[in-house]
Amino acid sequence: ARLLRPAWLAPGALGPLAEALFAAHPQDAAAALADLDAITTRNFEPGGLLGSWIGGRGFHMLLAHRAAHRLWAQGRTELAMALKTEAAASLGADIHPAARLGQRIFLDHGLGLVVGETAVIEDDVSLWHGVTLGSTLTKGGEDRHPKVRRGAVLGAGATLLGPVEIGAYAVVAAGSVVLADVAPRSTVAGNPATPRRRHRHPYFPADLPESAA
């Protein structure tokens, strides 16, 4: 990351900058705390809040993204990309600063995660390592990446390409390649991903009211 840091950016400057951003925008700090609570609640390994705070690579990646996204929204795009690059080098995940994330995101491990510029990840989504929210490289414009709706689960190594929509509380099995929309409250698996007969959500009950979507 030091090799890629802009010459005008002093070493060690990004940490204090991120702290200042969270202090100035309490809504971002609140979203980060909601992420921490979600990670602690949905992670079956012991450790609690303190363990997730200290050793949660996924939580640290979300922290970095929330700061980078704030910089991007302010038009400070070079700083946003510098922070994204530092986080990618340190934590092994790559989330474009323009990508829009909701709250209570559970990012388990985070290693190998790639999230493209126009991707959307709504509230209560859970993602495992190696997930890709990418484009097909055949279209430009403002809508090139997946939209993951509330409460969806993306298993390890799942690859979602193009402006596909993953419906609320849907489950994408590990290793799946998704090239088409996934219906709410459904499970898909395979390459290409196809619906499976049984749908079981690991965190939310199957009989959620329609209003929850």
Same-domain status, 3 and 55: yes
pTM (2 decimals)?
Answer: 0.84
Q: Cα–Cα distances in Å, from 179 out to 26, 148, 153, 159, 203? A: 37, 13, 16, 9, 25
Same-domain status, 76 and 125: no
Identify any residues that bridge with 147 across adjacent strands, giving them in sequence order.
Answer: 120, 165
Domain stops at, among 35, 62, 92? 92
Same-domain status, 83 and 5: yes
What is the Cα–Cα distance from 102 to 96, expressed in whole angstroms?
Answer: 15
Same-domain status, 185 and 132: yes
For residue 10, the enclosing domain spans: 1-92
Q: Is the model's pLDDT at 89 over the cut of 80?
A: yes
Count of structural domains within the chain:
2
Same-domain status, 151 and 208: yes
pLDDT in tens, 137-163: 877 777 899 999 999 999 999 999 999
What phi and psi values does residue 115 have, to the nearest 5 degrees?
Answer: -130, 120
Within-domain flag for 174: yes
> Running DSSP on this structure, what letter comes out for residue 182?
B
User: Quick one: average pLDDT of 55-76?
Assistant: 90
Same-domain status, 205 and 155: yes
Domain stops at, among 62, 92, 122? 92
Using 50, 70 and 90 to split pLDDT, how confident is the model at 207?
very low
What is the Cα–Cα distance from 35 to 56, expressed in whole angstroms?
Answer: 11
Using 50, 70 and 90 to split pLDDT, how confident is the model at 170?
very high
Angle (CA) 193-144-75 rounded to 5° is 140
Using 50, 70 and 90 to split pLDDT, how confident is the model at 96?
very high
Same-domain status, 145 and 182: yes
CATH of the domain at 175: 2.160.10.10
Within-domain flag for 25: yes
Same-domain status, 27 and 73: yes
Domain stops at, among 61, 92, 123? 92
Same-domain status, 56 and 125: no
Identify any residues that bridge with 182 across adjacent strands, giving them in sequence order.
Answer: 166
pLDDT in tens, 23-63: 888 898 899 889 888 888 887 665 666 666 676 788 889 99
CATH of the domain at 42: 1.10.3130.10
Contact status, residue 203 vs residue 126, Cβ threshold 8 Å: yes
Within-domain flag for 76: yes
